[in-house]
A and B are shown apart, each in its own frame.
Chain A
């Protein structure tokens, strides 16, 4: 191999290569528990130096061994390396390890020996980088792998790769640029061309790096889909029964651990006939644990399970329910507020959970067919809007329905306060939160949904990290958000209305797919009012205004499919927020100065870019302008102006007229540079016009052609 010429440029490139290798060493402590990274860095630096000096092969081998021994000594052996007794034990250790290797006992290898092997690997890497950088002048492959490596380290280990990625980006692109430049120089022959190439190349590279890096750092970045995909990945292999792999199918009695995917199943649950009216209630829960919902309300039952205050206008209705064959529930599903069940089985209703159980206390029974009487209500918006604080809430309502876990992340309350900063009453706040959750920040999704790990928070994960989920995510989040504002809420589960049963127009069929959850907010004088925060679902709740009977209700839309396109009124109201999609939660925080600053930076960057581009392409821009301006030269004067403009154009093309140079001399030089005789011909004409004070013949078409040819030549 020919010994390559070592220039300072090569040295710079080589040093940059070392920094790239260093990025591989930095995450090691976090990832593998390797200690003494500094030693490894120093060792590889020593390797780099040795290889750069390119001594004969025996010197390379000798120095590498010496460096490894020095490194091992500094890490594993106490005392001066000059007291050679450590060498003895080292040699002995190496011998044992060689035996281990031969017998395949990999796990038995000692740390010392593993370090030796690792340093050998570093030595090989050093040579490899020397080869890439100095001899083959290519680094993209290594750079790509470095970036992937840092990404993996950042994702799967505690290592924070943010600055590592920035460093790698800058170093890597510098390297790419410098190496590319060297390759261009190899192709360019004459010295002057090499210099221009260097100047141009450096400028372009600097501009690119600065703008790309600046934009990268300043631009808003969307949060990762998951901060840490590891839980998700473990869910994928949750066959061992990991508690994080929660998955839900249909209506499930326990909600202590929410999260995970929601498996669609079209297995029928029941069919209903009669007065069909909105969502089917199963029960309501009041305790949010951070991971799911539980119940701590009194177990006492009574027939009084009314949801609404007496003052509310209600309408009594009846529906008949027939359970599907395999479905056995010991409680009833019913729309609206329960009144009674007319069957010969004892039923009891719990006013707190609103669950209507069959059978006497302690003896659960299930019914296959029952008729429920219930009432539906119109919720008066004015009265709800009149609620501004929680002083009128009954004591037990406040006690049971405003609970929150003590370790609830503070950011949830901050978000709730930010969102409702402009709202002065409970109804408006509830509406705002509902609208926010239905807004463009969140997406409806039933698969690939993470579950919080022990100690995590289900709502926080949804609001700030995943931003994707199904009804449980939305309803729980709304309930918790409102509770941080001391508004009593509860979490209701049941089914959505269902679809028309196949083969029977008067019946509707409810399947597992219809399983749903929503939120109820307590309003004094009104009662429990349902809200539908889940994106893509349309509630059928009647909110009424006294003077306008037209309910602010959404048209019926079939459930279970995200319907972001068919905008319900709520979604339309949310539309103004759509402008700030890229802004994460800042859009809600109302922090406008951030936008302004960003805009300023964007403008500044654009301006710098434009100026830079204009400067880089000034020759092209100027010549295009000149070609247009002097497209026809009708008079001598115009020709003379065009000629002078040509000289200025040459100026910008770095062919400058020297002091004391006559036009003719200059023209001769220009013609030599562009290998033509056009400039001299133009100059002759100009001289005639200017020094000879000749007039009359104007600019002949030929002159114009020559002039244009010259301008184009300068441009290219």
Chain B
């Protein structure tokens, strides 16, 4: 376990050589990776989304695929297609980009719902069915989908049910002035991504995924998670709250995050830190709140700021 953790730290350092000043986002991405989930990145183009994903993939020695979603993209372009081989007189399966380890699904909202759902189904099932044949995806399968929040023309916004399949919705945001200068310095002669080497084996990542499941979540922390989620269902700014799938996700990412942080138990701080990223995209706000340009994350932060954090036995009513 110590080895995996050290390796993770090396990965973080490695990725930081390419992506300047985004340690939190890198950590969160790795958290999602370890929790076996996927990430939705909502940000303007050019802030380093692709670089981050590629750097992560390289650092763990994984294969990296990329799909640029367009309105005319077909499901088979994603999953792969069987092509008739005239020489062998047989249909041959040409695997699509889904068959890699790390996948960047760029501008996922630009493609038709049909293609979107083909991808998202794969995310949930970890397998694709092409021509009646079910094919398993790679054991390590990590998707980072991106959305451009600026141009909405000709897009197909993801339905809520499908947003649910992403563990996190993150923003990278612009770098600070210093960071941007640093970025310029780094790419002045060669791009650092080319010099990146693998610092953690795929096997170790898989092993870490198993270890994450052993991270202890105390009863009081579970209670805290549930109370947050339940509050989201009663909050007056929220039209539709977070489902139990959301609670599960929150717990899993908390475990993974604690692991990244080098702990084998979850603290409420983990939960509190992750909840906006986990829950923000899982709820539907009241119309007036949407009009007021409020987003899910800020409402979740509202909830967190007033919810008592269990810190002693007298705080939690029931103990196993």
Q: Is the CB of B311 within 8 A of A690?
A: yes
Whether B97 is near chain A, meaning CB under 8 Å from some CB there, is: no
> Which chain B positions have C-beta within 8 A of A687?
265, 267
- State which of A640, A647, A663, A688 has its C-beta within 8 Å of the C-beta of B309: A663
Given A644-B312, A662-B272, A663-B311, A692:B265 Cβ within 8 A: yes
Question: Is B221 an interface residue, CB under 8 A from the partner?
Answer: yes
- B220 neighbours in A (Cβ, 8 Å): 690-691
Residue pair B216, A662 in contact (C-beta under 8 Å): no
Separation of A438 and B219 alpha carbons in the complex (Å): 83
Residues A691 and B268 in contact in the complex (CB < 8 Å), given A659-B305, A660-B304: yes
Q: Are A660 and B309 in contact (CB under 8 A)?
A: yes
In contact, A692 and B264 (Cβ under 8 angstroms): yes
Contact: B268 with A659, CB < 8 Å? no
CA distance A665 to B267 in the complex (A): 12
A693 close to chain B: CB less than 8 A:
yes
**B306 CB-CB contact with A under 8 Å:** yes
Is A640 within 8 A of B307, CB to CB? Answer: no
Chain A residues contacting B218 (CB-CB under 8 Å) are 690-693
Return chain B residues, CB-CB under 8 Å to A665. 269
Evaluate contact between B312 and A661: CB separation under 8 angstroms: no
A660-B304, A662-B272 in contact; A691/B309 too (CB < 8 A)? no
Any chain B CB within 8 A of the CB of A618?
no
The reply on A664 being an interface residue by CB < 8 A is: yes
Whole-angstrom CA separation of A448 from B265 in the bound complex = 89
Nearest-CB residue, chain A, relative to B308: A659
- Name the interface residues of B265-301: CB closer than 8 Å to any CB of A: 265-269, 272
Give Cα A300–Cα B11 distance, bound, in whole angstroms: 136
- B263 partner residues in chain A, CB cutoff 8 A: 692
Alpha-carbon distance A686/B206, docked complex (angstroms): 31
A688 touches B308 (CB 8 A): no
Cβ A688 vs Cβ B312 within 8 A:
no
Interface string of A684-710 (1 = CB under 8 A from B): 000110111110000000000000000
Does B307 contact A664, Cβ atoms closer than 8 Å? no
With a cutoff of 8 Å between Cβ atoms, the chain A residues found around residue B308 in the complex are 659-660
Write the chain A residue with the least CB distance to B303.
A660
Contact B306 A659 (CB under 8 A): yes
Complex alpha-carbon distance, A233 and B18, angstroms: 102
A686 to chain B, nearest CB (A): 8
Q: How far is the CB of B177 from chain A (nearest CB, A)?
A: 27
Contact partners of A644 in chain B: CB under 8 A: 312
B216 and A692 within 8 A (CB): yes
- Chain A's closest residue to B304 (CB) is A660
The answer to whether A663 and B216 have CB atoms under 8 Å apart is: no
Contact, CB under 8 Å: A662 / B307: no
Contact for B307 among A659, A663, A690, A693, CB less than 8 A: A659
A661 to B264, CA, bound (A): 22
- A664-B269 CB under 8 A given contacts A690-B311, A690-B312, A692-B263: yes
Contact B216 A693 (CB under 8 A): yes
A663 touches B268 (CB 8 A): yes
A688 CA to B264 CA in the complex, in Å? 9
Name the residue in B264, B265, B266, B307 with the highest tally of chain A Cβ atoms < 10 Å from its Cβ: B265
Counted as pairs of residues, one from A and one from B, with CB atoms less than 8 Å apart, the total is 52
* Chain A nearest Cβ from B230, distance in angstroms: 15
Considering the chains assembled together, what is the distance between the CA atoms of A28 and B200 in angstroms?
A: 98
Chain A 621-636: CB-based contact to B (< 8 A → 1; otherwise 0): 0000000000000000
| A686 closest partner in B (C-beta) | B311
The CA of A455 and the CA of B266, in the complex, are separated in Å by 96
CA distance A659 to B306 in the complex (A): 5
Q: How far is the CB of A646 from chain B (nearest CB, A)?
A: 12
> Given known contacts A690-B220, A690-B312, is B265 in contact with A662 (CB within 8 Å)?
no
Closest chain A residue, CB of each to CB of B264: A692
Closest to A689 in B: B265
How many Å lie between the Cα of A378 and that of B316 in the bound state? 93
Q: With a CB–CB cut-off of 8 A, which chain A residues contact B216?
A: 691-693
Q: Which of A659, A663, A664, A691 contacts B265 (CB 8 A)?
A: A691
A662 touches B221 (CB 8 A): no
Complex Cα–Cα for A659 and B221 (A): 16
Cα A665 to Cα B304 with chains together (Å): 13
Q: Tell me which residues across on chain A come within 8 A of B311, comparing CB atoms.
A: 647, 662-663, 690
The CA-CA distance from A647 to B307 in the complex, in Å, is 18
Q: Report the bound CA distance from A451 to B188 in whole Å.
A: 113
Could you give, for residues 246-278 of chain B, a 1 whenever the CB lies within 8 Å of some chain A CB and a 0 otherwise? 000000000000000001111111001000000
**Shortest distance between the CB of A684 and any CB in chain B (Å):** 9
Give every chain B residue within 8 A of A647 (Cβ-Cβ): 311
| Pairwise interchain contact B312-A664, C-beta atoms closer than 8 A | no
- Contacting residues, chain A, for B312 (C-beta < 8 A): 640, 644, 690
Q: Are A688 and B269 in contact (CB under 8 A)?
A: no
Selected from B221, B272, B307, the residue in CB contact (under 8 A) with A691 is: B221
Nearest residue (CB) in A for B301 is A660
With the chains together, A664 CA to B271 CA distance in Å? 12
A688 to chain B, nearest CB (A): 7
Most buried by A among B220, B267, B272: B267
Q: Is the CB of B305 within 8 A of A660?
A: yes
Give CA–CA (A691, B271) in the complex, Å: 12
* A626 → chain B closest CB, angstroms: 16
**Residues on A with beta carbons closer than 8 Å to the beta carbon of B269:** 662-665
Contact, CB under 8 Å: B265 / A693? yes
Interface 0/1 of B188-203, CB less than 8 Å to A: 0000000000000000
Cα separation A687 to B264 with both chains bound (whole Å): 11
**How many angstroms from the CA of A690 to the CA of B307 in the assembled complex?**
19
User: Within the complex, what minimum Cβ distance (angstroms) separates B222 from chain A?
Assistant: 11
In the complex, chain B residues whose CB is within 8 Å of the CB of A690: 218, 220, 311-312
Query: Are A691 and B306 neighbours in the complex by a CB distance under 8 Å?
Result: no
Contacts of A693 in B (CB 8 A): 216, 218, 265
Q: A688 with B305: in contact, given A662-B272, A693-B216, A693-B218 (CB under 8 Å)?
A: no
Query: What's the nearest-Cβ distance from chain B to residue A659, in Å?
Result: 5
Residues of B within 8 A of A694 (CB): 265
Does the CB pair A691–B266 fall under 8 Å?
yes
B residues less than 8 Å from A688 (CB atoms): 265
A477 vs chain B, min Cβ distance (A)? 73
A sample of 10 inter-chain contacts (CB < 8 A) reads A640-B312, A660-B307, A662-B267, A662-B309, A663-B267, A664-B267, A690-B218, A691-B220, A692-B218, A693-B218
Extra A-B contacts (6), CB below 8 Å, given A647-B311, A661-B309, A662-B269: A660-B309, A663-B267, A687-B267, A690-B311, A692-B218, A693-B265
Top 4 A-B pairs, shortest CB-CB distance: A692-B265, A660-B305, A691-B218, A664-B269
Hey, which bits of chain B sit against chain A, CB under 8 A? 216, 218, 220-221, 263-269, 272, 304-309, 311-312
